[in-house]
Amino acid sequence: MHKITNISMETDVLAENKHLADHNHENLRSKGIRSLDIMGSIGSGKTALIIRLAKEMKKKGINVAVIAGDVTGQDDFNRFQEAGIKAFNINTGKECHLDSLMVDKALDHMDLEGVGFLFIENVGNLVCPADFPLGTDKRMVVISVTEGDDMVRKHPMIFQGADVGVINKMDLAEYMGIDIARVKADYRKLSGGRELLTVSERTGEGLEALVEALLV
């Protein structure tokens, strides 16, 4: 939870986070590592999607590492390791988002030799991660068809601040009766004309286009 009690404290916290985010960005750039902050709701399939994307990148000769951010536990971290992906676990305790200090410390402990691309899986939540950039090259938001067709319009801040928007689990779209056109129109409007990418981590639909968007 945010522990911010007044406006001037909030300004300090956000300014300090931004300062360290710039530091992280320089640090990653100096090592030749591209990076992506993956935000999204709980259960949208972020972890499984990262595992698929890591495989696609491997085919292109890019070695991947992941920082797994969760409030508690190491379930995602274990899944990455089982998939043969170099991973580092961050437990935020009570915090509902990662911040750039947590990432700075993680980077100090990680063996990044030979890594070309770093995924950072943020805590599942469509609200406060928007306020805390981590210093990645890009930020991506993941939602899925199981969450209803009002997810974008209900969370304008996070979609406005993201470089890439994705709706996952398209293989389930027909069963969910979701109005994809509405979700896409909401995103187009909020993002200033960008297209929401439709993907299915299970069938592989749209993954190639997504990898391309991440490597631009």
Rounded least distance, CB 76 to Mg ion, Å? 4
- The verdict on 76 binding Mg ion (CB under 5 A) reads yes
Does the footprint of Zn ion cover residue 14 (CB under 5 A)? no
- Identity of residue 209: A
Rg (CA), the chain: 17
Which is nearer to Mg ion, 78 or 203 (by Cβ)? 78
Tell the smallest beta-carbon distance from residue 14 to Mg ion (Å). Answer: 25
Instruction: List the interface residues with Zn ion, window 97-116 (CB under 5 A).
Output: 97
Degrees, nearest 5: CA angle 64-67-73:
135
**Hey, which residues between 69 and 98 contact Zn ion (CB under 5 A)?**
96-97
Strand positions, DSSP E, 71-184 = 86-91, 117-121, 138-144, 164-168
**Taking Cα atoms as reference points, which of 147, 144, 138, 136 lies closest to residue 196?**
144
**Placement of tokens 């470089």 in the chain:** 163
Phi then psi for residue 164, to 5 deg, are: -135, 135
- Give the residue, chosen from 41, 44, 47, 198, that forms a contact with Mg ion under the rule CB under 5 A: 47
Which residue's CB atom is positioned nearest to Zn ion? 128
Assess 149 for contact with Mg ion (CB under 5 A).
no
Q: Should residue 128 be labelled a site residue for Zn ion when binding is judged by CB under 5 A?
A: yes
Work out how close the CB of 96 gets to Zn ion at its nearest, in angstroms, rounded to a whole number: 3
* Listed ranges 1-9, 71-79, 98-106, 206-214: which one lies at the site for Mg ion (CB under 5 A): 71-79
Identity of the residue, 125 or 146, whose beta carbon is nearer to Zn ion in the bound complex: 125
DSSP string, 46-85: HHHHHHHHHHHHHHTT--EEEEEEESS--HHHHHHHHTT-
Task: Check binding of 178 to Zn ion (CB under 5 A).
Answer: no
Rounded Cα distance, 61 and 56, in Å:
9
Positions that interact with Mg ion (CB under 5 A): 46-47, 76
Binding residues for Zn ion, rule: CB under 5 A, are 96-97, 128
